[in-house]
Structure 1
Amino acid sequence: MSYKEELYFIAACLTISFDNKNRLKVEKLLKSNSIDWDNLVKISTGHYVFPALYCNLKREDFLHYLPEDLVSYMKHITTLNRKRNLQIICQAKELNNLLLVNKVTPIFLKGTGNLLAGLYNDVAERMVGDIDFLFSQEDYPKAIKLLRANGYFDVGKYDFDFPEQRHYVRLKKDNYIAAVEIHKGLLIEKYSNEFNYNFVKKSLQIINGVSVLSYSNKLNLSIIASQINDRRYYYKTIALRNAYDVFLLSKKTNAKDAINSLKKLNQPLNFF
């Protein structure tokens, strides 16, 4: 398999619960014993979809086609990620309660927002870095002050808050699993007047007392975070973690309708 074929194979594995054509194709390749599993582990790990790969293969009862030592390793990593994500969910709910009590409303974004919305069949599927949330311009400094007063401290330090900066420096609290990023914006300055707090707040979901983006704006942000903020539109590359989120979100909302709600961003969104 070439790198391109390996990338396509991993992507196909992530869809087998929804697409029978891909399911049959994946099973045929698994039976052929022609897969270089060392490469597949490297690629899926580099794209942060290794646990998702395991969960999808397990769900379709395909693990018996894999080497036993690989299955044990995949199970171990996925178990660790599940434990981490459950801790992140607890931390996010604690932060939500702290902020709401102080009359500040956070909107949870990206991986944490998807976990809180119950997007994944298994919370272990998504690899999450920081807890990201968005605030109004008015609540942004209040959120920073509140978290600092409750034990969170800066990881790194700017001399001043750059006007174009989308989020404050990462904050961490001792004995808590995840760092936190407090956002006042979602996009680089070029597009910030189109996709921003005022745009997304009109269609928020409140799930179990937690505010998250609508499914259409979750889909848009999943693409935007990769294509615009990480400049993948320019370099013509793809991140499978973002692609997997978009795939799952496309089962919750109409992708074309979602991207057509934006004008300046329509081309890079449609390109994805």
Structure 2
Amino acid sequence: MTVIGAIFRPQNPPERLRSVARAADEAGLEELWLWEDCFLESGIAAAAAALAWTDRLRVGIGVLPVPLRNVALTAMEIATLHRLFPGRVSVGVGHGVQDWMAQVGERVESPLTLLREHLDVLGALLRGQEVTTRGRYVQLDAVALGWPPPTPPLVLAAASGPRTLRLAGEAADGTILHAGMPLDLVRQARQLVDEGAEASGRTERHLLISYVQIHGNDREAAVEMARERARAGADHVVLEPARDEPDPEGFVRMAAEVGSVVGKD
């Protein structure tokens, strides 16, 4: 079964999130995804608000840029969300846009190394382990969460290039693909993350979450595009509105209708 979600773009003012989240919840949309783009809106703060305003809606953050965040803080925030809203949160991390990372003085020489270290430690902390590590970028001394989630959540990573996709398969439980990735690369991504998962001994299916941009509220086009990505190997298809979409509430209602069709396939 393919899970259908929709994105609330951070180009919308934060105060618009309440009505969009409630519209999504009332319409039966399964997932509402948020971004942490510089320098617009906080992913964690927005997710907490959306979860509190709704009853059943799952909320995803895709993604938190790891150069901006100490991994212990990321783990604390994710753990808190999971304890407050069990089973309703999905959080991904990624390289971040390198120009933005340079703007804040956090650009690193090896984004791939940083992401690997962050993923390994984040997963361990969320499993309730005490971590001491002296990595190139991530350094912790006997750090353990005081309130880890009762059930360790899935750790997701954003990826697009071959090396990052293999890393995501090795070190994460799922991968988020950006909306600009064509179908043939979605198929290639499915293969690469599965190769990475197999190489690291992971036996659970690696979740592939594919964004796809939809212009306007064209339900028929959205259904076809979602089905195409599902056939290419995506487990979750997340509909991304245009940057200037004037009716985000209508968009999430349309996405819920797409989910009622595609979810039956």
Q: Could you state the TM-score of these two structures normalised by the residue count of structure 2?
A: 0.26
Which one has the bigger strand percentage? 2
Q: Which has the higher contact order (CA 8 A, sep 6+)?
A: 2
The structure with the largest alpha-carbon Rg is 1
- More helix per residue: 1 or 2? 1
